[in-house]
Structure 1
Amino acid sequence: MDKNTSRILQELANAADEAKSAVHSAAAAMGEKYDSVKAGLEMNRLEIRQEAVFSDIGRVLFLIHTGKIKDTMETDEGPRSPQQVIDELLIGAEQIQQEIDAAQARMQENRPGRYCTKCGREVGEDDVYCAACGAKLAEK
């Protein structure tokens, strides 16, 4: 093999190694983005579930206030007092909040920096409010 052919083959091998490295880096970056999007979707799903529970609590309180519920309410588990229904809904909301807190902790474990605890967006070190959702940020 002549020198030119050998040099060309070596350059091709080097280019292939660089391309392989770039593909691995891109795959790692895509994996991180995928994990971030997946965590964001999970947070959104949990927040929607929690808002539905809050809505149910408000509905029960309104029905009590208007006198449409007095003694018992029919639920999937059978008749319950309005207070029992509200207590069960509050317990459900707290369980969902614990899931939200755990999901936020998982999100932040994999990302250095400071993030909004409400929406998960990255915020500046000196920010007091999240620019994305307006939530007051936890103190440093």
Structure 2
Amino acid sequence: MADNTSHTSTFHTITFELTTGSQEVALDITDRCAAFLDSTAPGRDGLLNIFVPHATAGIAVIETGAGSDDDLLAVLRDLLPADSRWRHRHGTPGHGRDHVLPGLVAPHATLPVVGGRLALGIWQSIVLIDTNGDNPRRTVRLSFLG
């Protein structure tokens, strides 16, 4: 049976800037992602890609507000201590760990969009993870394909 459905794909992308400060942070950006979809993908199905073009930050999909975001930062401190063991040595002491972070918390996530809305679980949020106090300015790229 032939599929006579017409499919038109569109691609939309934006960037926005954030200031994360000089401390480790798990910053919820779910509302920014939802607002982007409201303006570019109303009623559409597709994929949202969230990408942070930095060598020292990542994107996580986790629960926030109940301690999981702080727990993730604590685990990262345990796994990646800010000490002198790192070969990458520019910046503040222990900064080399920040360059290992994207190997554990990827700098991107791709999520389903159904009817113009993120298809997240009830407790899931999109979170920018930044352990690098040397660079408080971050760019986030949102791209919708649908």
TM, length-normalised to structure 1: 0.21
Higher strand share: 2
Higher helix share: 1
Q: Which has the higher contact order (CA 8 A, sep 6+)?
A: 2
Larger radius of gyration: 1
TM, length-normalised to structure 2: 0.21
